[in-house]
Amino acid sequence: MISRLRRSFADDSGFTLVAVTVSMMILGLFAVGAWAAANQDLPYGRQDLERKRAYEAAEAGVQWYAYQLATDTNYWAKCGHAQSSEVPDFVQNKGTRNAWRLVGGSDTDFTATDTTQQEKFAIELMPIDTTKPCTVAAAGSRLLDDGVLTIRSTGRYAGRQRQVVATFRRSGFLDYIYYTKRETSPPAAYTAQGQSVSWAAANCDQRRGLRPSGCTAIQFIGTDAIKGPLHTEDDSLLVCGAPTFGRTAADKIEVLGSTSSSNAYVQNSGCSGSPNWAGALQYPPKSVDLPDSNTALSSVADRTYSGTTCLQFNANDTMSVFSNLTCTGTATSTVTLATDTTIWVANSGSCSVGYSYYQKYNNPSTCGDVGVKGTYGKNVTIGAANDIVVVGNLTHSGDGLMGLVANQFVRIYHPVTWNGNDCGNNVLSTPVSTVEAAILATTGAWINDNWGCGSALGNITVRGAIAQKWRGAVGTGSGGSASTGYVKDYNYDDRLRYREPPNFLDPVTVNWNLLRVTEQTPVGT
């Protein structure tokens, strides 16, 4: 009896079944809980996916617009007006986006309503003044803020919208501290070599490999420093020693005819070494060409003067005007500068003289020559029908930008003593040493007057940008030192990546660069 009872207590038959049943009940509760939690998260996950796809659609709109600008660099100036039978490409910041495009669709795939689960985008131009929408006749003044174009792209998916704002800027010679079309002297300067100006004009306006030997070759010496991006339409740079090109790898060095670092430069006869490529050589660079003249500035000028003029900029944001080239004597007027001012100096009569290496500053007073010097704090662009001559240091205060745009030459004032055509000593006890400006010589060059005369003048420091058709000389020398004139100390003003002086001339061939893309939150109307 006892033994049977003991055996029945010791028997565990059925215990496992109970344990399995309890475990299954617990697992079932976990499964139900997980299902419930997941079911609650499904709407949030779907909403997150929809928001992401709406953002992707907005980004696709920016890329679509960038493609339009790459295909037609003047696309922006059409203001989104319908072409042929198309629906308008986009609206102009009016809050009604009815020109939705399908992502990945054709140019005619528009829909105004959200009836499908397809990604769509709509592009809006963002005028400088929202009360003045874009018109074809005034596209530049309505849309470009210091040369920057702003658009807004709205992406939509499943009824959800996200927006990004994108800015574009045209690439051109303001992207470089140093730009030349030809790495040889301007024809007008060939009188110094006893050669014909007409011969030089006929034979030297081509790349180095095609120029005859009589064309002047201008070199960079070892102490020259070009601190910023560089572009030349020529085959190569001529060097003597080891000049520096660029600051960091972020500075593009573009030599149109080069395919490697070994043929981007030519070492002049009797010289040795190789350049210090602090910047990054680009192969192959895109071509950028200069406009034929600067006369477009005459139609947009806020102030116009004629004949020989000198403009002295003062620290109190005023400008003194003189009727001579050197800002001497009594000013004819003093004006207060606006935030942005464009100045045009026209010929007051006949001005048939060209540039002469034997510079004695005796051009007729009817020529549209303008001298400049002083300290400016506002944004100013000066255009001259003939030459601009920097007659004293030109520096900026605050955030001002200066543009110097000459139809012929932008020159450094450097008078010397003369005995016939034999030059002697420097006349100025304190030479020009600093120029802070964006410089453009459309048919001439940035040049130092009488560059082969007198003694060495130290550094000429430029902070800004230099663009010229021809290579102007600023001194003579070899290896690591200058014999006459200046050593180059050229420094790029990085503000020119995003801004430009008022009404500064656009290059003939341009590409648009996407500067930045930022999301707009909350979504605007």
Question: What are 157-191's pLDDT values in tens digits?
Answer: 988 999 999 999 888 889 999 999 999 999 988 87
Average pLDDT, the chain: 86
Tens of pLDDT, residue by residue over 368-377, are: 999 999 999 9
3-class secondary structure, 91: strand
**pLDDT band at residue 76, thresholds of 50, 70 and 90?**
confident
Give mean pLDDT, residues 508-521.
85
- Choice among 70-74, 96-100, 373-377, 465-469 with the minimum mean pLDDT: 96-100
pLDDT of residue 524: 76
Residue among 494, 449, 447 at smallest CA distance from 218: 447
Tens of pLDDT along 344-381? 999 999 998 888 888 999 999 999 999 999 999 999 99
Tell which residue, 307, 389, 302, 296, has the closest CA to residue 337.
302
- Using 50, 70 and 90 to split pLDDT, how confident is the model at 77? confident
Distance (Å, whole) CA 496 – CA 500 = 6
Look at residue 474 in the predicted model and tell me its pLDDT. Answer: 95
Cβ 360 vs Cβ 416: under 8 Å? no
Average pLDDT (499-509) is 83
Place of tokens 């990604």: 119
Does residue 38 carry a pLDDT above 60?
no
* Domain locations in the chain as residue ranges: 49-171+512-520, 174-509
Q: 156: number of CA atoms within 13 Å, CB side?
A: 20
Higher-pLDDT residue of 197 and 506 is: 197
Mean pLDDT, rounded, for 66-86: 70
pLDDT at 84: 32
Residue 74 pLDDT level (bands cut at 50, 70, 90): confident
Q: Confidence class of residue 29 from pLDDT cuts 50, 70 and 90?
A: low
282-325: per-residue pLDDT in tens?
988 888 888 999 999 999 999 999 999 999 999 999 999 999 99
Residue with tokens 């004293």: 392
> For residue 358, what pLDDT is reported?
87
Question: Residue 494 and residue 500: Cα distance in Å, rounded?
Answer: 11
Q: Distance between the two ends of the chain, CA-based, in angstroms?
A: 93
Phi-psi region of 194 (alpha: psi -120 to 50; beta: other; left: phi over 0): left
Q: What is the three-state SS of 258-294? A: CCCHHHCEEECCCCCCCCEECCEECCCCCCCCCCCCC
Q: What is the pLDDT of residue 310?
A: 98
**132 versus 322: which is more confidently predicted?**
322
pLDDT of residue 87 exceeding 50: no
For residue 316, the Cα-to-chain-centroid distance in whole angstroms is: 29
Q: In which band, very low, low, confident or very high, does the pLDDT at 86 lie, cut at 50, 70 and 90?
A: very low
Using one digit for the tens of pLDDT, what is the confidence trace for 372-428? 999 999 999 999 999 999 999 999 999 999 999 999 999 999 999 998 888 989 999
Which pLDDT band, with edges at 50, 70 and 90, does 473 fall under? Answer: very high
CA 269 to each of CA 86, 121, 201, 479: distance values in angstroms, whole numbers, following the listed order: 62, 60, 25, 11
